[in-house]
């Protein structure tokens, strides 16, 4: 069974204090690893897709990396508006394309 | 480009009542998904449609949940009768196709409270 584990569950940072969120996975036949951001009362918002080990993608203060067992979401010099829950999900091979999600990391960035 | 639309945004019902949710995907997206997100957890897939056919409904509690996508565009998800444990946010997502990796785009969700 596909498993996705995210850590930490919650993270509080000061504005400008860089850190990383972790997503470890156990799947057979990874097709893609996805990062989403979810604000309270809203649906998940797509951030990145990573396809193969060694791949990196960046968007503003966020950088996602992928190895064969885990992915990291690095947040550089975060701002209060980066506060949200960050969800990691995997998609495996086959005809279906469902996402299996982790439980998320709740990030709070303080002034 | 308009995103995924869902209604209603909130619904409160008594247990054993029935409820229905509606979803309109992004225009041109052939694949539509319904996810259940319980507080503090990640979304869990309930059912996936490709056009108006079911691709995966292995995690749909079929004794009480049903879903349809008759014309291959919008979809409804129904719960009858509802239980307390059905309290959750129901998310609809859509993507261009199958196989992949395909990016899924989510709607705002319907928050269901069962009393």
- In the block, tokens 């010099």 appear at A77
Residue B25 lies in domain: 5-96
Domain count for chain B: 1
| Token digits of residue A95 | 């005809």
Query: Residue B81's domain is classified under what CATH number?
Result: 2.60.40.10
Name the closest residue on chain A to residue B9, using Cα atoms: A41
Per-residue model confidence as pLDDT tens digits over B54-79: 999 999 999 999 999 988 899 999 99
> Is B108 domain-assigned?
no
Q: For the CA atoms of A82, B105, B39, A97, what is the dihedral angle to 10 degrees? A: -130
> Is B101 domain-assigned?
no
pLDDT of residue B71: 86
> Is B79 domain-assigned?
yes
- Does B32 lie at the interface with A, CB-CB under 8 angstroms? no
B106/A36 Cβ within 8 A: yes
* Summary mean pLDDT of chain A: 95
Domain count for chain A: 1
Residue B71 contacts by C-beta under 8 Å, 6 or more apart in sequence? B52
Per-residue model confidence as pLDDT tens digits over A80-98: 999 999 999 999 877 668 8
Over residues A53-74, the mean pLDDT reads 96
Q: Measure B15 CA to nearest chain A CA, in Å.
A: 23
Question: Best mutation site among B5, B9, B43, B90 for testing chain A: the one with the most A CBs within 10 Å?
Answer: B43
Q: Measure B38 CA to nearest chain A CA, in Å.
A: 10
Residue B51: DSSP 8-state: T
Positive or negative, the CA dihedral A88, A91, A97, A101 is: negative
């Amino acid at each position: 069974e596909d498993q996705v584990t995210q850590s930490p569950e919650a993270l509080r940072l000061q504005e400008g204090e860089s850190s990383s969120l972790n997503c470890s996975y156990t799947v057979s036949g990874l097709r893609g690893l996805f990062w989403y951001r979810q604000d309270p009362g809203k649906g998940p918002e797509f951030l990145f897709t990573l396809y193969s080990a060694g791949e990196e993608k960046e968007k503003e203060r966020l950088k996602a990396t992928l190895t064969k067992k885990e992915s990291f979401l690095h947040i550089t010099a975060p701002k209060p508006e980066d506060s949200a829950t960050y969800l990691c999900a995997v998609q495996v091979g086959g005809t279906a394309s469902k996402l299996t999600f982790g439980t998320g990391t709740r990030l709070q960035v303080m002034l | 480009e308009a995103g995924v639309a869902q209604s209603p945004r909130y619904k409160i019902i008594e247990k054993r009542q029935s409820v229905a949710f509606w979803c309109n995907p992004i225009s041109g997206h052939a694949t539509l998904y319904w996810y259940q997100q319980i507080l503090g957890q990640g979304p869990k897939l309930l059912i996936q449609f490709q056009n108006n056919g079911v691709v995966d409904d292995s995690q749909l509690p079929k004794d009480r949940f049903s879903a349809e996508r008759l014309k291959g565009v919008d979809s409804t998800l129904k719960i009858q009768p509802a239980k307390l444990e059905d309290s959750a946010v129901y998310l609809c997502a859509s993507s261009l196709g199958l196989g992949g990796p395909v990016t899924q785009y989510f709607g705002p969700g319907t928050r269901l409270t069962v009393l």
